[in-house]
Each structure stands twice: as C-alpha cells, then as structure tokens.
Amino acid sequence: MLHAKRILLGITGSIAAYKAALLVRLLVKAGAEVQVIMTEAAGEFITPLTLSTLSKRPVLSSFVGNPAEGTWNNHVELGLWADALVIAPASAHTLARCAFGLCNDLLSAVYLSAKCPVFFAPAMDLDMYRHPSTLHNIDRLASYGNHIIRAEHGELASGLVGEGRLAEPETIVEQLTHFFNQRGALVGRRVLITAGPTQEPIDPVRYISNHSTGKMGYAIARAFAMAGADVTLVSGPTALPLPHPAVRRVPVRSAAEMFRATEAEFEQADLLILNAAVADYTPAHPAHQKIKKKEAEFSLELTKTVDIAATLGARKRPGQLMMGFALETENEQENALGKLQRKNLDWIVLNSLRDAGAGFGHDTNKITVMDRGGNVRVFDLKTKEEVAEDLLTLVKEKLANP
C-alpha cells in the first residue's frame, strides 16, 4: 500500500535521527517516493548526504533553494505534494512548536501547510517524555487529528531504561501501511454517527443529562473518516474538538433535536452508528422562566422521547446497516440482545458499568458485540481509539461478506 505514495519525512534534532537512514531505505524499498526535510539541529546527528543518497532526492532544510539562482523551497507545494508527512524522530522542541503553531523553519511551515495526514513519532529521554508539558503537547497534536506513533520502552541514549525510544523504523512503516490499507476501505460509503449526551431543559437554567463525554463516538467518527468514509457526526454537547477534518459535525442539544438531525440524514446513509447517550425521558412542560426554590418538595412530569434506534430501524432499507450501543448494569447480554432484535439492528455493542475502566468518562472501553447472525465477540479492555478500530474491522468484514 506504500507503492507510489509520496512521503515527506521530517527529521529533527534527536540522537534517534540515525534511525532515519533505515526508515528512508524501508520506505523506498516499499515503493514510496521519499522527500526528506531536516531541521538545522538534525544535521548534527546525521548528514544530508546519507539521506539524499538513500532517498535519491536532495534533502531540504531551509526556505532558500539555490541562492545564486534565487530559488526557494515552497512549503505550500510540499504540503500539497505529499500523501503523508512523517516527523520521525520528533523531538520535544518540535512537538511543542507544532502543537502551538510556531513557524520558524521549513519543517514547521510544511506542517502548518500540509493537507495530508501527519504522523509524529516522538523520541527523547525518559523524563522528558513523561513531563506534563510533553504529554500535553502530544495530546494537543492528537486532538488536531494528527497520528501519534508512540515511543517505545527500552534502553535510551542516556543509559536509562524506559519509555521514550523512537519506534523502530519497521514499526513506523507498518503503521503507515496499516493506515493506507484502512484509508480506502470505506471510500464512497456514507456513515452517520451519533455521539455524546443530550440535555433536556427543565427551565432556561437547568437540564436533565447524563455522564457521556462523547469520547467513544468521536473516536468512531475519526476511525471511519480515516478509512475513507463520508462521515456525518450528529453530536450532543461535548468539549471535544472535531475528530477529523473530513468529518461533518451537526451539533444538537436535546433528544428531539438529535432525532430530527439523524432522521434528516438517515435515508442517504449506508451505515448508522447510534453511539449517543440519548435521554429516555424529557420534561413535559419546561418552564420559560427560572424555577424558584420555594417548596420543600418539587415534582417534575416527564414524557418519553422518540426512540431513535427503533424508529429508524423500522424504516431501514435493504442493504442499509445499523449499529446500536447498550450500556447495561444487569442481565447485560439478555438486555442487549433484546434491543438488537426489537430495533432491527445489525449489531449491538454492549458496555457494562460493572467492567472497570469501561463506560462514561474513561479513555478506555470494554465491549461485547452481538450481531443478527447470533455471533458474539468479546473484546478486552482497550483504548477507545482501539475499540473504534475493532468496530471498523467488523463493518469491513460485513461489507466484504454481505
């Protein structure tokens, strides 16, 4: 999958820069076109001559090309040329500059101009990698839709042993290959995803809601967008950034708004993933003014909201797929299977609040997936990004074997 792919390889000032020679060699061997961009500090660790020989292209390190001819290295054109930008090794300094949009050299200018996917492979000493500033910068870069190839555990240049080692060149190539394999899997497919909580107004100040953060739904949206799908994300109120630049987000607040937005997109969708934690009940008569605290007791009349999964499941056309989620606290599989059947779903993804690290608010999740064919798949506790990849794999398998 790397054949004829155009890879910009950014090399920064880290002792791990010596591994860039093998990385270039592996990429070229896989059929990729590689253009190396070095920072000034990177030249202290590996020579441009080595990398230009391996890549068969002149190494770029400054905006000025040939001063005598008045040529320059156009960062915008480079950003448009590439199918992927890989910054490996990415030093703590480069991570910080990119995270905050600082632009004082060719590599950072190319990063800010890049239209392609961007991969950061951090490399630094143990304590630098663990420092809250570095971790914050990595999280910030990931929140922009960039891909992080995590540093590995091992012996470091300082003699310490721990996390901070540049991922091996073979691992970086493997992750790039996986990315491009996944990227085209759902090209042309329209995927509609709901995520986050809903807020049901009591009065202009108060509302009924739940603990959903939207993290799982946003991770799913990102995974499917990276697989090439045309993703629409109907999102309840969250503090999360757009999961991927290609995702079209439709913000809503209440269960009624979520139903209307989802219904409007449903007919054109090839796949509907209902991950949102939608309120089952909403106040029957929301007050137009703030309710004052007067009585010792206060009762609130509630009415059922529209069951989005059941309503749209009844309208599902042949070939259209639907995946629902069930968060249970007892009789988990029995309750989830009942939802699968009643709502005409193709899959039901079960979460149990009895599983440590799963459910609302966590960065991890543990799921069991049941389908209409009676298959049950139990997954280990994973990050929500990994869970999203597992769900993507299930959908790809279904599309390959209808």
- Residues with active-site annotation: 210
Q: Is 316 annotated as a binding residue?
A: no
Helices (H), 267-365: 308-313, 332-342
Residue 215 among known ligand-binding residues: no
What are residue 182's phi and psi, to 5 degrees? -70, -35
CB burial of residue 188 (10 Å; 0-12, 13-18, 19+)? exposed
| Closest by Cα among 138, 141, 162 to 150 | 138
**Is the Cβ–Cβ distance between 153 and 115 less than 8 Å?**
no
Q: What's phi and psi for 161, nearest 5 deg?
A: -120, 125
Question: Between vectors from CA 239 to CA 234 and to CA 243, what angle results, nearest 5°?
Answer: 55
Residues, the chain: 402
Distance, in Å, from the CA atom of 400 to the CA atom of 1, rounded to the nearest integer, reads 19
Q: Which of 102, 91, 115 is nearest to 10 (CA)?
A: 91
228 sits in the region (left: phi over 0; alpha: psi -120 to 50; else beta) called left
266 labeled binding residue? no
Most distant CA pair in the chain: distance in Å? Answer: 85
Placement of tokens 């509907």 in the chain? 272
Q: Is 105 annotated as a binding residue?
A: no
DSSP codes of every residue in 168-229? PHHHHHHHHHHHHHHHTTTTT-EEEEEESB--EESSSS-EE--S--SHHHHHHHHHHHHTT-
The count of C-alpha atoms lying within 13 angstroms of the C-alpha of 7, restricted to the half-sphere facing its C-beta, is 30
243 touches 222 (CB < 8 A): yes
Tokens of 7: 């890879």
- Give the single-character DSSP code of 39: -
Confirm whether residue 293 is marked as ligand binding: no
**249's tokens:** 């987000």
- Straight-line distance from the first to the last Cα atom of the chain, in angstroms, rounded to the nearest whole number: 25
Residue 153: beta bridge partners? 163
For residue 148, the surrounding DSSP H or E stretch is strand 147-148
* Alpha carbons 24 and 30: distance in angstroms, whole number: 10
Residues of each annotated binding site? 280, 290, 325, 339, 343
Could you tell me which residues are annotated as the binding site for CTP?
280, 290, 325, 339, 343
